[in-house]
């Protein structure tokens, strides 16, 4: 796996030390002395060196591309390494779209919460009230609320298990799945009763939520997302479904010794849990607008953040912000070929979004450990910017 975050800190410190030595040498030779740094400049240098060291390691391990977009104090810092695809080897750019995986859920949740704020949907209402087939197709062992779907506490089986067991990755990748088909696949897996609500990630939760939104709005979920979020914010690179963008960064996996392109599998292209493509700039613009109250009423945003003891609210995860003893909010995203993470301070002013097209390796059962490293490095870097 290579060096852990502690080793990356050492690399970052070495980069900073070298920069300070160069500055000292310039002073000794009589060259003009640069302006005195502000108190935060060394910390910023460490933060950016940490991110660059992580990127260097990913590229060295075979990652096709690494993209980073940081917003702090009214400034922007970007980093891009690698290529859009391993065939043409065009250089990647900072604005290239990538697959954002689970970050899709935050955007879907905005449309759900917009219905809540309008009084058309209740968080503690039963899902079957709005989706009659929820009970007749899935046969839940007990009542399931809209809130439990949002927080992944429903216990609803993940439809990807039976899907991936039904054929080779290549065959499955080319199989479009409607929301109804996603629910039907989940229904083939036993849904045991539980004594307590616990977080249990399932893509089917958001398939059910998307269907509820479609029924209440009378429109396709992709159209609703465009009306509620991507259109008003001008997120031109963000969409659910549709053809692959020509400037997209491609992800890859290796199956049976063959490298396969994962940039737009048919079954994932319209999956409301992980199917969106977006750019890092769009992701940061979305989370800043959400947390500043630009998409939902303040009390609704507060509800999305969850209780003080919860690390995962309503499609928002939180991390410690040591700059002010508060939190960053956002989500990580992990899907075949890609890892992403987005973190934004509560006031929307400090942000980091990072995406890695993973080194082409066999698909990982469960969460790829690289997304954990992405998250750790991102949090450490953000906490160095204060």
CATH code of 84's domain: 3.40.710.10
pLDDT of residue 386: 80
| Residue 277 near residue 99, CB atoms below 8 Å | yes
pLDDT of residue 40: 55
- Does any domain span residue 15? no
- Does any domain span residue 59? yes
Structural domains counted in the chain: 1
- Does any domain span residue 87? yes
For residue 296, give its domain range: 44-384
- Does any domain span residue 144? yes
- Does any domain span residue 20? no
- Does any domain span residue 362? yes
**Digitized pLDDT (tens) for each residue of the chain, 386 residues in all:** 444 444 444 444 444 344 433 344 333 334 443 433 343 576 788 999 999 999 999 999 999 999 999 999 999 999 999 999 999 999 999 999 999 999 999 999 999 999 999 999 999 999 999 999 999 999 999 999 999 999 999 999 999 999 999 999 989 998 999 999 999 999 999 999 987 888 999 999 999 999 999 999 999 999 999 999 999 999 999 999 989 999 999 999 999 999 999 999 999 888 999 999 999 999 999 999 999 999 999 999 999 999 877 779 999 999 999 999 999 999 999 999 999 999 999 999 999 999 999 999 998 777 899 999 999 999 999 999 88
pLDDT of residue 19: 40
- Does any domain span residue 4? no
- Does any domain span residue 16? no
- How is residue 165 written in tokens? 């067991």
SS (H, E, C) the chain: CCCCHHHHHHHHHHHHHHHHHHHHHHHHCCCCCCCCCCCCHHHHHHHHHHHHHHHHHHHHCCCCEEEEEEEECCEEEEEEEEECCCCCCCECCCCCCEECHHHHHHHHHHHHHHHHHCCCCCCCCEHHHHCCHHHHHHCCCCCCEHHHHHCCCCCCCCCHHHHHCCCCHHHHHCCCCCHHHHHHHHCCCCCCCCCCCCCCCCHHHHHHHHHHHHHHHCCCHHHHHHHHHHHHHCCCCCECCCCCCCCCCCCEEEECCEEEECCCCCCCCCCCCCCCEECHHHHHHHHHHHHCCCCCCHHHHHHHHCCCCCCECCCCEEEEECCCCEEEEEEEEEECCEEEEEEEECCCCCEEEEEEECCCCCCCCCCCHHHHHHHHHHHHHHCCCC
């Amino acid at each position: 796996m290579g060096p852990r975050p502690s080793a990356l800190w050492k690399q970052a410190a070495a980069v900073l030390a070298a920069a300070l030595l160069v500055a000292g040498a310039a002073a000794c030779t009589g060259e003009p002395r640069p302006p005195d740094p502000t108190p935060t400049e060394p910390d910023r240098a460490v933060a950016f060196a940490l991110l660059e060291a992580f990127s260097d390691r990913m590229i060295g391990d075979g990652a096709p591309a690494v993209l980073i977009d940081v917003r702090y104090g009214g400034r922007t810092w970007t980093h891009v390494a690698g290529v859009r695809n391993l065939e043409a080897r065009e250089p990647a750019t900072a604005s290239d779209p990538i697959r954002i995986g689970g970050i899709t859920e935050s955007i879907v949740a905005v449309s759900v919460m917009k219905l809540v704020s309008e009084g058309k949907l209740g968080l503690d209402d039963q899902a079957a009230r709005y989706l009659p087939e929820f009970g007749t197709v899935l046969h839940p062992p007990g009542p399931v609320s809209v809130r439990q779907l949002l927080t992944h506490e429903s216990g609803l089986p993940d439809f990807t298990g039976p899907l991936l067991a039904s054929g080779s990755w290549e065959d499955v990748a080319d199989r479009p799945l409607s929301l109804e088909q996603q629910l039907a696949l989940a229904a083939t897996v036993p849904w045991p009763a539980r004594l307590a609500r616990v977080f249990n990630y399932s893509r089917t939760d958001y398939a059910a939520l998307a269907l509820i939104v479609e029924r209440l709005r009378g429109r396709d979920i992709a159209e609703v997302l465009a009306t509620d979020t991507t259109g008003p914010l001008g997120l031109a690179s963000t969409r659910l479904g549709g053809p692959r963008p020509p400037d997209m960064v491609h992800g890859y996996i290796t199956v049976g010794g063959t490298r396969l392109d994962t940039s737009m599998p048919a079954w994932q292209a319209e999956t409301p849990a992980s199917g969106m493509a977006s750019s890092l700039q769009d992701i940061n613009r979305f989370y800043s607008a959400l947390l500043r109250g630009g998409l939902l009423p303040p009390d609704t945003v507060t509800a999305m953040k969850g209780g003080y003891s919860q690390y995962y609210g309503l499609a928002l995860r939180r991390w410690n912000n040591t700059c002010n003893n508060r939190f960053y909010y956002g989500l990580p995203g992990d899907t075949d070929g890609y890892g992403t993470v987005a973190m934004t301070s509560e006031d929307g002013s400090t942000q980091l979004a990072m995406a890695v097209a993973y080194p082409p390796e066999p698909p990982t059962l469960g969460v790829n450990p690289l997304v954990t490293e992405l998250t750790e490095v991102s949090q450490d870097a953000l906490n160095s910017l204060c």
